[in-house]
Amino acid sequence: MSRHSVPRVFLELPDYDLGLRVKSTRADKLGPGGRASMCTILFGLSVVDEVVDTPLSNAANGYPDATAVPDESTRRELFWRPRSEAVIADLVDGAGEPIQESPRSLCQRLVGEYAALDLVPTFGFEYEFYLHHAEPGEQPHRPVGRTIGAYSHARLAAVDSLAEEFMGRMESVGAPIEAFHSELGPGFLEFAMSPAPALAAADGAARARAYMRELCEERGLHATFMAKVHAGHSGSGGHVHSSLARAGANVFGAEDGRLSPTGSAYLGGLLSTMGDFSVLFNPFINSYKRISPDMFVAARASWGFDNRNAACRVITNMGSSSARVEHRRPGADASPYLVAAGILAGGLHGLRNGADPGPGLQPGAEVGGDPLPADLHAAVDRFEASDLTSDLLGDRFVASFAATRRGELDAYDAWWRNTVTDWERDRYLENL
Ligand SMILES: NC(=O)CC[C@H](N)C(=O)O
């Protein structure tokens, strides 16, 4: 039985690194319209909460507050937390304008640009993740289950109560999970979400990652969405299936099972912007260790019909109403808002310029397409040097996000400079 006399509201705040951060508040302490003050440092915190100064929030301006405004379309009761509800809130400035550094506001603006073309983007996210035991005293990161088989009855049975509870919670917040299965790796699992309009899909995906981790914490387990946990096993993808609809009808499919001209231009835009936007899909040092053509993660901006070797897998063989492009480059580690922004902006660029995707990969043929950045350093350099980013993503977002990626690189460089690795000892100690 809950002892709260006043309901609680979980204000869920989109950021860059965790997807959603959260603040639990007493409903009667919120301002008009459920607003709350929130520090702009939200867009300057790393995964381990190092503070990275950005033009928005820095030592010189004293890390000021902004106002978090709930999006009422996202307000949901949390049945597993009595008298509690969650709502996604985004920051606005003193004039009530969306803060342009926010990745969710960016998605909202981009969705608006599609609306001006009479198009509605539809996204379906799917996530792979590793599940570990987290009981005190246990060997750290012991995977759940002893076998590694994909689509395994036994492995699914071992996590079925977790999957059932998770699916129930996600359905209750309006972001249903369509499928759940074991993937090939120790404790490796995957779930796929129902397609939804892009922003609602990103909200659902952000909640799915957070709510899965939260549920695991309740059960002495730990779910990780980091991109590459084990050097010898698959990394965790966060693939996104996308299509465009006009007046409720998918406009990607053509009669002959190919992509329509609109679908082709959209795909062409995803491909031509993929290198410049790589840091949105793969935002951490570790993200790039997942990239491995041998493990179904393309290193080039390639596409092919139903081809998992390609960065974009085009699916037209299930009927024109479900024609779509699966973007396979994003990792499970990336915020769904960053990923959605990269895809929306890339597709829009293609539509505006009538981009040509070029010939697709043929099964068995050598993989073509432009090489994509192979590490975070190269990805940030390319993002900052791009002519496209400020036009499509806005100068303020680009400056703020790039500053945080530089922070990530600095943190790694500082560790590396202060660490003598096994590789160095094995190589030099006896020989020099
Ligand atoms: N099932 C698959 O297609 C493998 C995907 C791969 N694990 C990735 O990181 O994207």
In this structure, the residues whose C-beta lies within 6 A of any atom of ligand 1 are 128, 234-237, 290, 295-297, 308, 328
How far from 222 is each of 23, 138, 219, 235, 417, CA to CA, in Å?
Answer: 21, 12, 8, 17, 31
Locate 106 and state its tokens.
């960016």
344, containing H or E segment:
helix 336-353
The minimum-distance atom of ligand 1 relative to the CA of 328 is 10
Rounded CA-CA distance 259/325 in Å is 10
Locate 340 and state its tokens.
């959605």
* 3-state secondary structure at position 24: strand
Residue-wise pLDDT tens digits, 74-121? 999 999 999 999 999 999 999 999 999 999 999 999 999 999 999 999
When pLDDT is cut at 50, 70 and 90, the band that residue 148 belongs to is confident
Beta-carbon contacts of 303 under 8 Å, excluding residues fewer than 6 positions away, are: 267, 271, 310, 311, 312, 313, 314, 325, 357, 360, 361, 369
Looking at residue 2, its pLDDT comes to 58
- In this prediction, the answer to ipTM > 0.90 reads yes
Find out whether 430 and 85 touch, Cβ atoms under 8 Å: no
| 31 phi, psi to nearest 5 deg | -80, -175
Looking at residue 146, its pLDDT comes to 78
Rounded mean pLDDT, 299-327: 92
Q: How many helices (H) and strands (E) does the chain have?
A: 11, 19
Task: List the residue whose alpha carbon is closest to atom 2 of ligand 1.
Answer: 296
Judging by DSSP bridges, how do beta strands 312-315 and 303-305 pair with one another?
parallel
The minimum-distance atom of ligand 1 relative to the CA of 295 is 6
pTM equals 0.96
DSSP notation for 160-219:
HHHHHHHHHHHHHTT--EEEEEE-SSTTEEEEEEPPEEHHHHHHHHHHHHHHHHHHHHHT
C-alpha 228 – ligand 1 centre gap (Å) = 11
Q: What is the best residue among 127, 328, 333 to mutate for testing ligand 1's pocket, by most ligand atoms within 8 Å of CB?
A: 328
Locate 296 and state its tokens.
């179904």
Find out whether 11 and 33 touch, Cβ atoms under 8 Å: no
How far from 342 is each of 151, 155, 371, 399, CA to CA, in Å?
Answer: 31, 34, 18, 15
Residue-wise pLDDT tens digits, 371-383? 999 999 999 999 9
231, containing H or E segment:
none
Count CB neighbours of 22 within 10 A: 15
Rounded CA-CA distance 212/330 in Å is 19
* 3-state secondary structure at position 240: strand
- Location of structure tokens 């085009």: 314
Closest CA to 406 of 278, 282, 273, 285: 285
- Range in 55-59, 132-136, 196-200, 306-310 the model is least confident about: 132-136
Rounded mean pLDDT, 256-275: 95
Find out whether 109 and 192 touch, Cβ atoms under 8 Å: no
C-alpha 331 – ligand 1 centre gap (Å) = 9
C-alpha 237 – ligand 1 centre gap (Å) = 5
Locate 377 and state its tokens.
């350093």
Task: List the residue whose alpha carbon is closest to atom 10 of ligand 1.
Answer: 237
When pLDDT is cut at 50, 70 and 90, the band that residue 319 belongs to is confident
Residue-wise pLDDT tens digits, 19-28? 999 999 999 9
Looking at residue 41, its pLDDT comes to 96
C-alpha 347 – ligand 1 centre gap (Å) = 22
Rounded CA-CA distance 15/99 in Å is 12
DSSP state of 51: B
Find out whether 169 and 215 touch, Cβ atoms under 8 Å: yes
b/e 180-204 (16+ beta carbons within 10 angstroms → b): bebbebbbbbbbbbbbbebbbbbbb
Q: Is 285 left (phi over 0), alpha (psi -120 to 50) or beta?
A: alpha
Closest CA to 214 of 206, 225, 222: 222
Cα 190–Cα 192–Cα 198 angle in degrees, nearest 5: 135
Rounded mean pLDDT, 352-377: 88
Q: Taking 60 as the threshold, does the pLDDT of residue 1 lie above it?
A: no
